Amino acid sequence: MKNFWSFLLCASSILSGFQASAQSDPSLTETIAPKYSNEFLAIGVGADALGVGNAFVAQTDGVSSGYWNPAGLTNVNKWMEVGLMHSEYFAGIAKYDYVGLAHSIDDKSAIGFTAIRFGVDDIPNTTQLIDNNGVIDYDRITRFTAADYGFLFSYARKLDVEGLSVGGTFKVIHRKVGDFAKSWGFGLDAGAQYHTKSGWKFGLMARDVTSTFNAWVFSLDQETREVFLNTGNEIPENGLELTLPRLILAGYKKFDLGKKGLWTSSELDVDVTTDGRRNTLIKTGLVSIDPHLGVSVGFKNYVSVRAGLSNVQYVKDFDDVQKLNVQPNIGIGLNFKNVYLDYAFTDIGDASAALYSHIVSLRLKLNQPQNSGTE
């Protein structure tokens, strides 16, 4: 327990110190807290979680817990777990990659590392398409990459209260848009899980609990500035972008279906965002509430079929009539010994556009390597 609080105190001190120095920097002239800031970190990792509509905070118990709820890392029962995922959105234009590592320190504590990249490569830069003589020159077109990176360092520990685990995550965020703009940011997540003797699992996840920020710096050359001014665009200014806290409450239960190894489970998660009114099922000027539900049916630990409902929102049709939209998700998981292969057919999060993608993820449980040398 002492190590856990030391971890949070150290990370919080680094965060506060960096934020104070950033705010005192005269080059950072603006602080804003927009909705959907750092939204690439809300997509999710692991096809097993995406298949149940991201209703995963209470049941997560493996390497992906570093993302979903760090408290779940205490259920890692092998020396090391490795998680991998690759997905593509918008007909392959945007690529999303994830790698995770989890290590069991002892029977009460564990650590994890998560790396996420969401990027669009080979974007044409046409700001210099027309030369100084007003002639279109296609050789002046260059290409750049816009990418977001998230690096999550997690620690979890079981408490003296039976069934209760807590965890924390220190996040480092780097976002880059070619040579035009880049940012670095830091933040903290905190999570807890409680497993009852009757088989219920409850989860609590506080993302960006101290508010996560990105310090943006823009580097536009004089020619690009002139293009912006001539086309009526504003010149962006350096500043701080804040990501306000998000709270997730979750409950999970698994039921046995007879004595032949069949089972079913369900989880309900409720996301509470604090960045103002969003297009969610329940919304106010202060908070928005977004529920999502996932169910699974399986045979022992070998195979499971999953389905989930998420992104419940009202969408206007061409007649300007609002209709309730729900995003369905499906998936399947296979397990052979310590190898887990999962598949999901899901959306990036816009139910109205129905931009569904095939997602595959792999999870490996590894034993501690044995010394092969002889004396």
pLDDT digit string, tens, across residues 251-290: 999 999 987 899 999 999 999 998 888 888 888 888 999 9
Q: Is 280 helix (H, G, I), strand (E, B) or coil?
A: coil
Write the DSSP symbol of residue 136: B
State the CB neighbour count (10 A cutoff) for residue 58. Answer: 28
Handedness of CA 60, 65, 68, 69 (dihedral sign): positive
Its pTM stands at 0.84
Q: Is the pLDDT of residue 302 over 80?
A: yes
The answer to whether 216 touches 22, Cβ cutoff 8 Å, is no
Q: Which helix (H) or strand (E) holds 344?
A: strand 339-347
> Strand locations in 105-232, DSSP E?
109-125, 142-158, 164-177, 181-195, 201-207, 212-218
Q: What is the pLDDT of residues 199-254, one digit of tens each?
A: 999 999 999 998 888 898 888 777 777 777 777 777 778 888 889 999 999 999 99
Structure tokens at 185: 């940011």
At residue 275, the pLDDT reads 85
Q: Is the pLDDT of residue 314 over 90?
A: no
Q: How far apart, in whole angstroms, are the C-alpha atoms of residue 95 and residue 117? A: 8
Question: Smallest Cα–Cα separation from 80: which of 361, 338, 343, 342?
Answer: 338
Nearby residues of 260 by Cβ (< 8 Å), 6 or more positions away: none
Structure tokens at 183: 């940012």
The answer to whether 123 touches 144, Cβ cutoff 8 Å, is yes
Go through the chain and tell me how many residues it has.
Answer: 375
What's the rounded mean pLDDT across residues 173-190? 92
Confidence of residue 9 (pLDDT cuts 50, 70, 90): very low
At residue 15, the pLDDT reads 40
Q: Is 259 helix (H, G, I), strand (E, B) or coil?
A: coil
Q: Is the pLDDT of residue 119 over 90?
A: yes
Q: Is the pLDDT of residue 77 over 70?
A: yes
Q: What is the pLDDT of residues 21-67, one digit of tens each?
A: 334 444 444 556 677 788 899 999 999 999 999 999 999 999 999 99
Confidence of residue 353 (pLDDT cuts 50, 70, 90): low
At residue 354, the pLDDT reads 55
Question: Smallest Cα–Cα separation from 1: which of 112, 152, 151, 164?
Answer: 164
Confidence of residue 14 (pLDDT cuts 50, 70, 90): very low
Q: Which range, of 56-60, 318-322, 366-370, averages the lowest pLDDT? A: 318-322
190 phi and psi angles, rounded to 5 deg = -140, 140
Structure tokens at 234: 């504003």
The answer to whether 293 touches 53, Cβ cutoff 8 Å, is yes
Question: Smallest Cα–Cα separation from 83: which of 101, 56, 59?
Answer: 101
Higher pLDDT, 352 or 296: 296
Average pLDDT, the chain: 85
Higher pLDDT, 139 or 3: 139
Q: What percentage of residues in the chain have a pLDDT greater than 70?
A: 87
Q: How far apart, in whole angstroms, are the C-alpha atoms of residue 345 and residue 355? A: 10
Structure tokens at 95: 């690529």
At residue 272, the pLDDT reads 94
C-alpha angle 223/224/225, rounded to 5°?
A: 90
